Structure 1
C-alpha cells in the first residue's frame, strides 16, 4: 500500500504541505489550473531550517501588483497574521464556485471542496452561524485557495493509497485574528481537530504552529497514527514554514513509501497493529461470528479468550491482529458488533512471517483421484518446516467419499512428501 506520511511535530500550514509534497516528488506542473484561475504564480525555493534542507513555497500575484506579492498567510511566521492584501475575501459559496470553475479531476475537486466544507463548518460553529452565510476572511483569500487546491492536486499526482499524519503540534501563546487576540490553538483549529481523525497537542514553542488551512487539509486527507508507519521509503520531502525557531527545524516532513506488510510474501517481519477489548455482555452467537465479520473488515487473526472482569463477572478478551492501514476499520467494526465502549490499540508491533506457497497434490480414495491444496511454510533459505493440507478441500473430499477428514489430510501430506523425494 503506497502511503504518504506527514510528521506533524512542528505543526502544519498550507504552504508547508505544498512544500513537503513537492519535495517528496510531486510534479509542480499539475498546479497550472490554480495559477490560471487565480492569476497567481507558485514560486518554489530551497531554504535551510536549522540545518535541514527544505522547500519553501511563495504565491505571487501575476497581475502587475508587486505590493500583493506575499508569503502565504498560513505560513507568515507561523503566527497567522491575517494581513490584508491577499486578494478578495469570499463567501463559502463563492469559494466553491471558484473551485468548480477550475475544471479539475472530479476526485481532486471533491477533496478540495471537502476541505472548504471543513473550514466553513468550523467557522460557522465558532461564530454561531450557518454554513451558507459564512464569509471567509483569511481562508477565502487567493493564497489559501492556492494552498487547498494545490495540496489536493499534488497528492493526486503522488497517487497514494493512504495518507496519514502523526499527532499535530499546535504551538502555544496567542494569535492575532481579524476578530481579536485568541489563545493558541485558535478556535477554528480546535473545531477542526474535534472532528478530525488525528491527535492535537500543545507546544513545543510559544507561537502558532498549526493553522486552520493546514488543519483542514489534513482533516480531510489524513488518518491519524501514533508514529510514522513501517514503510519501505521511496522518497521524503520537507516543507518549510517562514519562521526560524530557535531549537526546532520549522519544517513539515512527508515520507512516501509502501507498507512493509505488502512485502510479507517472504519470510521476515510484518508490521501489525494489535486491537483488544474486554466484553461481558455479548451473546455467544455474536462472538462466534466475529471471526468472519472482522476478517471482512481486514483482520488477519481473531482470538477469543475467557477472562474474569470487574465484580468477578465472566467475560471474554477479544484480540485482533491486523495491518496498520486496516486498524481503524477493524476497530470500528469490532465496536459495532460487540457494543464495547473502547478498543485498545498497540501500534508499531511486528510479527515474524513465513514464506507461504500453495502446492496441489493428488490423493486416491476408492480408486478415484482427488486434487487437494497443501500450504507450504518455509524460511528465506527455502527450508520447509510445515506442510498443511487445506481443511476446506479435505472436508469436501471427505463428504464426497465417506472418508474421514483426518484420513484425507494424512493422505494429502503423504502424497506431497512422496512428490518431493
Structure 2
C-alpha cells in the first residue's frame, strides 16, 4: 500500500501542501490544466527554513510576470508553470503574505540579502491581516554572496472574482482534469463553503468565498489534488496539526487563533489539532479543508518503508523552529489500514432496556466508532451487561463522559491507545427491477489496499424498505443487491 504521511506540527496551508507534495516527488508539470484556465503562474523554488531546505510554491499573476519566475540561476528541475492562485491565508502564517520573506536558493547556495521597503499588508483567506514595516533578511551559505529581488513578480492573492460555491464548482468542472481530481476538489470546496456559511449564517449556494473563492485559492485546492493524483498514493494520513495561538486580524475585527472557519472544519476532521507551538496563525481554512477531506488522523508516523520525503515552506520565519510541513511517501506494508484506537469498558447491573436500546446511537453521535453490549453475570450472580466502546484516543474523554451520564455508571476502564486493522470501505448503489419498478439498495464493499474486494453486504434498512414495498423476503433483496454490484464490477 502506497502511503503519504504529513507531519503538521507547524500547521498546514494550501501553499505548504503544494510545496510538500512537490518536494516528496510529485511532478509540478501536472498543474498545467489549472494554468490553462486562469491567468496566473506557479513559481516553484527552494528556500531556507532554519537550516531546512524546503520547497516554496508561489502563485503569481501571469500578465505581470517579467520573465522566468524562478529567478536566475535555477536549473531545469525547477519548473515554471502558469496557474490559478493561492487562498489568501494560504501563504500560511505568512509574515508578508506575499512570499517575499522567502529566500530563493539557487543551486550555488550563495549568501543573499533581501530588502523590502514600505509596509506590506497580507489578507488571509479568512480575512486575517499582518502588517510589517521595513525589514531585511540575511542568510549565510558557505561565504558566498548573492543579491536577488522579487520586485518584478506580483502575487495573485485575492486576484479574480469572489465566487460562490456553485461558481467555483462550475469553474473546476470546466478544467481538463481527471474525474477523481474534480471530485476531490469539489468536496474540499464544499467543506470550505459550509464552514464559511456557518460562520456567517448564510446559505452555501449564496455564500461568496471572498479570498477563498479567488483564483489563487483555486490553484491551491486543485493543485494539491493534481499533485496527489500524480503521486498515486492509496492512503493519506496526518499527525495532529498545530493551529498556532494568539490573535489574528480579520475583516470583522480581532479573533483568537484558530479562526472560526478553521474550527468549523476541524469539527468534522478525522485528525486532531493542538495549540501552539508559537503565537501565530499556523492552520488556514484551506489547509484545514484539504486535510479534512483527504487525510486520516494518526498519532505517530505509521510503519512504512520510506521512498521519498520533502518539506513544504510556510511564510513565517521563527527564530527557533522551521516553519515547514513534512511529507513522507512510502510503502505502508499492510494490506489493511491501521487505525489508532482506545477501548472503553464498563459493567452495568441496573440499566433499563430503554437506555441500552438507545445507547449505541447516542455514543456514536458523541464520537464512538463502534459499540458492543454483551450480557454477562456480575457479582452475587446478578445479570448485567458489559458495554465496550471503540473510540479514537482523542475522543475517549468525551465519549466516556457521555457513557457515564447516559447509564449512571460510576467507573469506566480505558485500555489505552492500541490499533485495529480495517478494510477500505466504499458504498455502491444497486438498482433492482421488481415487477417493472426499479428500487435502489446501497451495498457496502470491503477491499484491501490493492483494491481486491473480499466482502459485499447490502444495507439492511434499504433492503427492508424494498422488501416492504415488493413483498420479497429481505434476504432475497439483499442477495439480489450484492449480485447486482458484483456484476457491475465485472465479477
Q: Secondary structure at the match of 1:230?
A: coil
Distance across 1 between alignment mates of 2:271 and 2:14 = 17
Distance across 2 between alignment mates of 1:140 and 1:85 = 11
The structure richer in helix per residue is 1
Deviation at 1:344, TM superposition (A): 5.8
Equivalent positions of 1:86-101 (< 5 A) are: 86-92=158-164, 93-101=166-174
Give the structure 2 partner of residue 255 of structure 1: 328
**CA spacing shift, 1:308–1:151, aligned 2, 3 Å:** farther
> 57, 65, 82: which one pairs with 2:123?
82
Give the structure 1 partner of residue 53 of structure 2: 53
Q: Secondary structure at the match of 1:32?
A: helix
Distance across 2 between alignment mates of 1:258 and 1:274 = 25
> Per-residue displacement from partner, 1:162-219 (whole Å, max 9, x unpaired)?
1111111110111122333211111110111111111122111001000011001001
Say whether the 8 Å CA contact 1:226–1:347 is kept in structure 2.
no
Say whether the 8 Å CA contact 1:8–1:165 is kept in structure 2.
yes
Distance across 2 between alignment mates of 1:343 and 1:26 = 45
Aligned length: 316
**CA spacing shift, 1:348–1:56, aligned 2, 3 Å:** farther
Say whether the 8 Å CA contact 1:58–1:72 is kept in structure 2.
no
Give the structure 1 partner of residue 5 of structure 2: 5
Unaligned runs of 5+ in 2: 70-84, 98-121, 125-155, 357-371, 396-405, 422-491
Deviation at 1:12, TM superposition (A): 0.3
Distance across 2 between alignment mates of 1:77 and 1:319 = 39
Distance across 2 between alignment mates of 1:350 and 1:130 = 39
Q: Secondary structure at the match of 2:310?
A: strand
Distance across 2 between alignment mates of 1:5 and 1:126 = 30
Distance across 1 between alignment mates of 2:56 and 2:15 = 7
Distance across 1 between alignment mates of 2:10 and 2:29 = 28
Say whether the 8 Å CA contact 1:167–1:201 is kept in structure 2.
yes
Give the structure 2 partner of residue 15 of structure 1: 15
**CA spacing shift, 1:206–1:313, aligned 2, 3 Å:** farther
Distance across 1 between alignment mates of 2:383 and 2:240 = 37
> Per-residue displacement from partner, 1:245-288 (whole Å, max 9, x unpaired)?
1222100011112224359xxxxxx99867454465799xx9xx
Give the structure 2 partner of residue 127 of structure 1: 200
Equivalent positions of 1:232-243 (< 5 A) are: 232-243=305-316
- CA RMSD across the alignment: 4.0
Q: Secondary structure at the match of 1:63?
A: helix
**CA spacing shift, 1:18–1:307, aligned 2, 3 Å:** farther
Distance across 1 between alignment mates of 2:52 and 2:377 = 51
Distance across 2 between alignment mates of 1:206 and 1:282 = 50
TM-score, normalized by length of structure 2?
0.56
Say whether the 8 Å CA contact 2:298–2:339 is kept in structure 1.
no
Say whether the 8 Å CA contact 1:75–1:242 is kept in structure 2.
yes
> 370, 376, 386: which one pairs with 1:316?
386
Structure with greater Cα Rg: 1
**CA spacing shift, 1:196–1:271, aligned 2, 3 Å:** closer
Deviation at 1:43, TM superposition (A): 1.0
**CA spacing shift, 1:313–1:249, aligned 2, 3 Å:** farther
Equivalent positions of 1:277-356 (< 5 A) are: 277-278=345-346, 280=348, 314-316=384-386, 346-347=416-417
> 158, 172, 178: which one pairs with 2:251?
178
Deviation at 1:100, TM superposition (A): 0.9
TM-score, normalized by length of structure 1?
0.65
Q: Secondary structure at the match of 1:78?
A: coil
Distance across 2 between alignment mates of 1:180 and 1:271 = 40
Unaligned runs of 5+ in 1: 264-269, 287-301, 329-338, 352-421
Is it true that 1:104 corresponds to 2:199 in the alignment?
no
